[in-house]
Structure 1
């Protein structure tokens, strides 16, 4: 009898989990509080690898920057920025990266865009870049 009850509980948990996943996926954008895809800044980008998971370079912020919307990161003068992508074409003035927060974690690590003009690259971490298309996820809030 214990085995039968355990199977019924497992089936109920599985059914609930599957239903929950369907609801989340059909809600389109339930992965964040805002949950929306903004227009693409560019169709192509350069990355250090095909997953854009390794930084291309490190840069130091020359000035403060406050992003206009959720696709962008805020940067303070002097902060180190890890650059993961460089947009091409119409968005070529924007790079994608993360800001190194203070030692005690004052700023959470968030990937976002910023104007390349506000940073100076100080160290290149890769030699050959891969050109690839941007995807909706690049511009998701």
Structure 2
């Protein structure tokens, strides 16, 4: 066990020091999710307008796209949500979870209640 925990620590240390990644400031200290891992989508929303992110913590969204929302950041009046856009916009790449302003989408389908409060970590706002 001691060996595996050292390996995880070494990987994290390596990732934090690599050129491709960057630690960004936290947008919030808490988030609301459907479960403690924030692994189940809370709702599906449709983009009301295009959104072009200011930095790598955020995802680009095109008007009309469906967004799967996994978390609602709690601080700052619920201004930001975390979710994923999944369609041909990303081409061959897998969709990634990123943040976006809640004001650029409208809820279309509620899936699960966001009743679990989870503390955010630095990894929630890490840029790859």
**Pairs within 5 Å for 1:1-141:** 24-29=11-16, 34-90=20-76, 92-102=78-88, 105=91, 108-141=94-127
TM-aligned CA distance change 1:26 to 1:108, over 3 Å: closer
Q: TM-score, with normalisation over the residues of structure 2? A: 0.82
Q: Which residue in the other structure is 1:14 paired with?
A: none
Q: CA RMSD in A?
A: 2.6
* Structure 2 unaligned regions, length at least 5: 1-6
Residue 37 of structure 1, CA deviation = 1.4
Separation in 2, partners of 1:103, 1:114:
16
Higher relative contact order (CA 8 A, sep 6+): 2
Which structure shows the bigger proportion of residues in strand conformation?
Answer: 2
- My pick for the range that moved more, 110-119 or 97-106, is 97-106
In the alignment, structure 1 segments of 5+ residues that lack a partner are 1-19
SS at match of 1:29: helix
User: TM-score, normalization: structure 1?
Assistant: 0.75
- Alpha-carbon distance in structure 1 between the residues aligned to 2:27 and 2:103: 16
